[in-house]
Amino acid sequence: MPIVRTLPGTVPAWQETVSREDLRNLCLGQKERGARLVSLWGSDEGEETFVLHLALAVQEGLCWVRVPLPARDPTYPALDDVFANANRLQRATHDLLGLLAQGAADGRPWLRHDAWPPDRFPLRKGEGGEAYPPRVREPYPFVTVSGQGVHEIPVGPVHAGVIEPGHFRFSVVGERVLRLDTQLGYTHKGIEKRAESLAPAELIHLAGRVSGDSTVAGAWATAQALESILGRQIPERAEWLRALWLERERLVNHLGDLGYLCNDVGLSAGFSLFWALKETALRTHESLVGHRYLRDQIQLGGVVRALTASDCQSLREECVTLEKEVYRLRDLLQEHAGVQDRYLGTGRVPPELAARLGLVGLAGRASAQAWDLRVSCPTPPYAQAEVRMATRTQGDVAARVAVRFDEIFESLRLIHHFVEHLPSGPSHWDDSPPLCAGIGVGWVEGWRGEVFVALEMGARGQVRRWHPEDVSMSNWPVLEHAVQGNIVPDFPLINKSFNLSYSGQDG
C-alpha cells in the first residue's frame, strides 16, 4: 500500500510514495479513473538516491507521486503509453537528471542540444555549477517521411516574425503537411538549477519570468507553494487581488492573440483595433501598479499594491468600455466571410484525439476537454464567483477563437465582481514568518492553461528543488497533430491559435 501524506495549503493535494514496481499499475489504475498527467520530473536526493516525481490531476485534486530510484540503476518503466504527454517529460527528465524511462517509444534528447555532454546531468548535485561544459554536437534525428513528391521544409530556430525560437520540420507534398516534427529547447536557461539555494523572494521573482506572458500565473503558483509550506493563509483581500490580476493577464493576452489571429488572415484593421484596446489596458496597469504586465506584484504573503476606491472605479469603468468594444469586434469577425473561411475547420483537434493526447487549457476547452481550475478545483475567490467555463467541441481555429472571446467576457465579469466586492483588510502579511523546510504545490489556471509548481524547501529557508510546469509542455505535441493535412500557409494561424510558450516549456 502506498504511504499517503496530505499537503497543507489551498490546493487539495496529497503525496504518495510507491515503488517503481508498482508505478505502472498505479498509473494504469488512475488513468482508468480519469486521471491526467500534469507533470513528471526528478530530484537528486543525495545519499545514492534519486526520486522520480509525477503530478496527477484526479477528481479530488492533485496527487503527487514519489518513486525512489537507486543511484546505481536510476531507471523506471516508461509511462508514455499510459499518458501521451509523458513522452517529452521523460526525455527532459533524462536530459537534466539522467533518470531513464525504460521501454519508451521515443528516446531522443529533448532539452539537451549541444550545451552539455550526454553523460553529464546538470540537475545532479555537484553538477551544473561549471559555467560552460564542453559542447557535444550531434544532429537531432528528425522523423522523416519518404514517398514520391515528399520534401522537407526546415523552419527556425529564428523565425520570420517577432517570435520565440524553435525548430519546425515539415514533411510536405505540394502545400499539404504530412507530418510536423518539432525540436524545442532553444531557450533552455537552466532555471531549475538557478532556483536552487534562492531565497523565497528571489524565487517568486524568477517564477514570474518562466513564461513572460504568464507572469501573474507563474508567480502566484510559486507563492502558493511557498505559503503552503509556511502553513499560513494569506489575507482574503490578497487572494482577491491576485485573482483580479490573473484575470487582467488573461484579458490582455487574449486581446493580443485575437489581434494576431486577425493579422494572420490578412485582416490588418482587426489587428490594429485589438491592439489599440490591449495597449489601453496595459497603460491602465502602468497607472495602477507601475508595471504594464503586472510583474512582481505578487509577493510572499500577498500582493504589493493595495487598490484604492478610485482605482476600483476606473477598473469597473474600463470593463464596461471594453465589453462594448470587444462585442463589436466579435460581430465584425463573425460577419466576415474571408476570416471565417480561414478559421473554420482549420487545425482541427477532435475531442477524442484531444482526450487521448491529454490536451488541456484553452486549447483543450476548444476540443471539449472541460477542465478549468477556476471551476474544476476552485481556490478562493473563484469558488464564490462561480466561474462559467468556456468550451467548444469543434476543436478548430474558430473554436479556439470562440473560447478566447468567451473567456474575455467572463474575465471582464470577474474583474467587475472582484473590484465590486473586494474584501477590506490587509493585502499582505504584516510580518515575515520564520522559514522552514517542507514541500508544497501551486496550481493556477493561467490564460493559456494550468501552471503547476512543485517545491521543496530546505531547513534554512532555501530552495532544494523547484519544478514549474507550464501547460505548453503537454500541449506542444498536439500542435503536430493539428497541422496534419492542413496547408503550410495555415501553420502560422494554427500555431497562433494555440500560442504556446517556448520559454515556459524549455525551462
Partner 1 sequence: MANILSEILRHGLRSESFSWPQADLDTWQQALWQRFGRALVIRHVDAGSCNGCELEIHALNAPQYNLTGLGLRFSASPRHADLLLVTGPVSRHMEEALRRTYAALPEPRWVVAVGDCGHDGGCFGESYACLGGVRRVIPVDVVVVGCPPTPLQLLEGIWRAVTSARDSTPRQPE
**At closest approach, how far in Å is the CB of 356 from partner 1?**
29
Task: Tell me: does residue 194 bind partner 1 (CB under 8 A).
Answer: yes
Smaller CB separation from partner 1, 419 or 471: 471
For residue 468, the cross-strand partners are: 453
Task: Tell me: does residue 105 bind partner 1 (CB under 8 A).
Answer: no
Cα end-to-end distance, the chain, whole Å: 34
Residues 6+ apart with CB under 8 A from 332: 270, 273
d(CA 174, CA 178): 10
The residue type at 68: P
Smaller CB separation from partner 1, 300 or 357: 300
Stretch that binds partner 1, among 161-169, 340-348, 423-431, 461-469 (CB under 8 A): 161-169
CB 428: neighbour CB atoms within 10 A?
18
d(CA 239, CA 220): 10
Task: Tell me: does residue 213 bind partner 1 (CB under 8 A).
Answer: yes
Stretch that binds partner 1, among 127-135, 239-247, 481-489, 490-498 (CB under 8 A): 127-135
Among 31, 108, 295, 413, binds partner 1 (CB under 8 A): 295
d(CA 39, CA 25): 18
Task: Tell me: does residue 413 bind partner 1 (CB under 8 A).
Answer: no
Among 7, 79, 210, 223, binds partner 1 (CB under 8 A): 210
Task: Tell me: does residue 292 bind partner 1 (CB under 8 A).
Answer: yes
Among 293, 371, 405, 429, binds partner 1 (CB under 8 A): 293
Cα 487–Cα 488–Cα 493 angle in degrees, nearest 5: 90
Stretch that binds partner 1, among 290-298, 371-379, 421-429, 459-467 (CB under 8 A): 290-298
Closest CA to 409 of 291, 337, 343, 329: 329
Q: For residue 361, what are the CA distances in angstroms to 203, 400, 429?
A: 25, 11, 32
Among 128, 301, 438, 449, binds partner 1 (CB under 8 A): 128
Task: Tell me: does residue 335 bind partner 1 (CB under 8 A).
Answer: yes
Task: Tell me: does residue 256 bind partner 1 (CB under 8 A).
Answer: yes
DSSP calls for 360-423:
-HHHHHTTT----HHHHSPPTTHHHHTPPPP--SS-SHHHHHHHHHHHHHHHHHHHHHHHHT--
- Interface residues with partner 1 (CB under 8 A) are 113-116, 122, 128-133, 135, 157-158, 160-165, 185-191, 193-194, 202, 205-206, 209-213, 215, 256, 267, 269-273, 275-276, 278-279, 282, 292-293, 295, 328-329, 331-332, 335-336, 501-503, 506
